[in-house]
Structure 1
């Protein structure tokens, strides 16, 4: 082991010796032959004295591990293997899958490009176990990744290859509704469809994910756009508290009353501050809604875009939501109102005269649960080589990508970009079989106002009516990666060029729609970026989440 690695072990020992749990094991019996550094690690773990002695006795049997702790060279195994073995001894064999890792743990990731095999996959069931795993990861100084639902299409963001450790939160499945039904605690291993189904009998809902297969954790840390965000703000704006494990292993709470700076940072600041193990969310009294989903042929897309721009410029009712998605075969228009009605809402008048469509759902009153189930059947997010959605037809994609850009409202600009995209998407499909969507997400100025009213968040969302464009791309062959990814990149650049020429550009990138090479935190504004970095150094002074975390939208990239 080099001097740099030895210094890192020394830093950990210093941290461990002042850890919150070292008092538990201060006077316990020591294992024979245990070096000081290994004893410091065990003493730092939040376990009982007898458990600590038993663990230390097991760890000291591994000569390579002892050598590592003493700062000596280890040649017969890898450091990651030592770390995985230590975690398995500390947590128990059933919670740790060693290499070769169980295939199920690998294929949870939605995109084939993200399905890499880590050195081991750890599946803790409590914040205490997350703390133990994270402390051991720190001690061995190995790369790690954290995964909630694994829906990110960005390689390395929710998994790690050999030499790294995956902390998989799939077993955090709790759903606890408060007695007054005004809040609910949910685990990061849940999918949003599970959350909505569980809340339906209580007559409440939450501001969370729109697609039921998306995981709770990733969406919340990226902000989270919901059907009713124009009324209630982002999903993260509706968090009452976060239970979080810090890099030091400390388990704490972030809320408006406790660690309020960390609370603010977690509401869209990404995976930069710790591992969130429980989200306590405020519920909203919305279960009955009005909706209609209309399916049009794509030759009506330009007409619909004109109507969409009129809608965006005229809508004032925060209960109105319109969703516009063009696929390679059909165009979908979703109209949703956050409450029951006896007739179509006046806000959707710009779309009223456009005929030639089929109603896939509605029109009329329905429920959030029915909408969620419908979206679940429309968007098949099974990573096991299943069609992605209704636009993909017979395509069985292996890899996926997102992309994001934001602009102010202009119908001609929308149509110019759409025409540019449609030609490229059609040619790409013929050549590679890739499927691609073109989605304009209308954002009202009220979203930023709702966020501010709930304490604010770091995202810096523009306080004007505007749009967030995104695409979902899916394809099969790795050899087509560069060509396929080139189309959404070119489309994003087209958006930016036209918007800048018309003075309609906005420097904002929504994290949960951003691709691997984009920099959403860089669009949050200088003051918010500076504040986020200060908070990161306060709660993670050794910058473990910047230096050991495998990848993600990290502050070190900004």
Structure 2
């Protein structure tokens, strides 16, 4: 767990425990696993866990940083589904933190990152499922219409997304991406939708969609969100299938390819129609400035997927309080010589967006740790009472600050 010269690397890659309890109500998971490993193991057992949205995300960072998944409206954050942590503490002792033992540490590890110890196993709640879900993914143009000056389909998409958040459906999930992808002609929208088969009535099926309004004749059990969008938006391309929820994580893997340089900025905003419009408007208006900074002949070879991703955080996820939504500004590129340009553009775009939201009373201080940039304070939105409690627990379990001084990287609880 060190990235410094002459440091000690503690690799957890061989800690790959996977044990489903006899009653199938929980599963023991090692920190050396990725979520694809966990999903594949659970496939034949008709249970599911709250994990990453692509298969190659590591288990420990996702859970210790919060954990937003497609099915958060049904089961909450990933951290809400941890029943027990096995932890090596700074004094080398090993404890099990759960609701019956070390309750304070159990609370702190849920969003406390790597400030309290090395977690050597997680016991997660295993949720019974029918083994089937409706999964759909489609792309459409968000280019500006020369006649109206407006972006194609944006009004419809934002209206439908807001309706989805307001409905607070705990059987469905959605991940909308508003992108600029030069390899595909520029501005593109991409929507992923999942709906669990909670009644066991869905029949297996699959198909593709392209340039057609509305569900195709073979498209069965179509979720309302997907149906409403495709009735008014002709997809450039898309596909759907009824299969195991794991299949959506496989479908998302191409959106996070290996070999790219990538940078994230994340903030939270009140989940209103006005917020959605403001976030996407600023993002697309900032793209020309980025393109001007890159040599025209190198844009296709250099710039990957640049996007703003909307993450609805509903009442069901929070279990209390008002609806909020997270948004992520992400850029991908190939050549390290453009690192400074890409990071400066991301920083300014993030600042302008958050500032504009703040002026309208739509911003929120929460920063989702797992998507935060290194220059963002992931603990800033935790609240004074929570931070005071975290510091007290750290004083109890790591009074000499081993994890702060000796573990490079990650988000550290301030003094």
Q: Is the 8 A contact 1:223 1:511 kept in 2?
A: yes
Map 1:374-453 onto structure 2 (within 5 A): 374-376=251-253, 378-382=254-258, 385=259, 397=260, 399-429=261-291, 431-432=293-294, 433-435=302-304, 436-449=306-319
Q: Does 1:355 align with 2:217?
A: no
Q: How far apart, in 2, do the equivalents of 1:349 and 1:374 lie?
A: 20
2:163 is the alignment partner of 1:311? yes
Partners of 2:97 and 2:73 lie apart in 1 by: 25
Preserved CA contact (<8 Å) 1:434 1:484: no
* TM-score normalised to structure 1 length: 0.63
Match of 1:344 in 2: 222
Q: Report what 1:130 is aligned to.
A: none
> Aligned residue for 1:372?
249
What SS class does the counterpart of residue 356 from structure 2 fall into? Answer: helix
Q: Which has the higher contact order (CA 8 A, sep 6+)?
A: 2
Give the drift of 1:284: 0.8
Q: How many angstroms apart in 2 are the aligned matches of 1:226 and 1:338? A: 13
Query: What is the SS of the residue equivalent to 1:522?
Result: coil
Whole-angstrom distance in 1 between the partners of 2:166 and 2:192: 17
The superposition leaves residues 119-155 of structure 1 with CA deviations (integer Å, 9 ceiling, x where unpaired) of xxxxxxxxxxxxxxxxxxxxxxxxxxx2xxxxxxxxx
Greater Rg, structure 1 or structure 2? 1
CA distance 1:304–1:274, shift in 2 (3 Å) = farther
Aligned pair in 2 of structure 1 residues 349, 315: CA closer, same or farther (>3 Å)?
farther
RMSD between superposed Cα atoms in Å: 2.1
Relative distance call for 1:487 and 1:184 in structure 2 (3 A) is same
Unaligned runs of 5+ in 1: 1-145, 147-158, 386-396, 450-461
Q: Kindly state the Cα deviation for residue 291 of structure 1 after the two structures are TM-superposed.
A: 2.0
Tell me the residue number matched to 1:522.
380
Partner of 1:492: 350
Q: Aligned partners of 2:344, 2:322: CA distance in 1, in Å?
A: 30
Bigger mean CA offset, 233-242 vs 544-553: 544-553
Using the TM superposition, give the Cα deviation of residue 309 of structure 1 relative to its aligned residue in structure 2, in angstroms.
4.5
TM-score by length of 2: 0.84
Aligned with residue 178 of structure 1, among 12, 18, 21: 21
Q: CA deviation at 1:188?
A: 0.8
- Structure 2 distance, partners of 1:407, 1:192, is 28
- How far apart in 1 are the matches of 2:394 and 2:371? 23
* Structure 2 counterparts to residues 146-157 of structure 1, below 5 A: 146=1
Shift of 1:349: 6.1
Deviations 1:272-328 (A, max 9, x none): 000001111111113311221111122236235422443245313211212101222
Q: Is the CA contact 1:192–1:216 (under 8 Å) kept in the aligned structure 2?
A: yes
> 1:191–1:213: 8 Å Cα contact kept in structure 2?
yes
Greater share of helix residues, 1 or 2?
Answer: 1
Aligned residues: 372
Checking the alignment, whether the CA contact within 8 Å between 2:164 and 2:225 is kept in structure 1 is no
Superposed structure 1 runs of 4+ greater than 4 Å apart? 347-350
Does the CA-based 8 Å contact 2:16-2:32 persist in structure 1?
yes
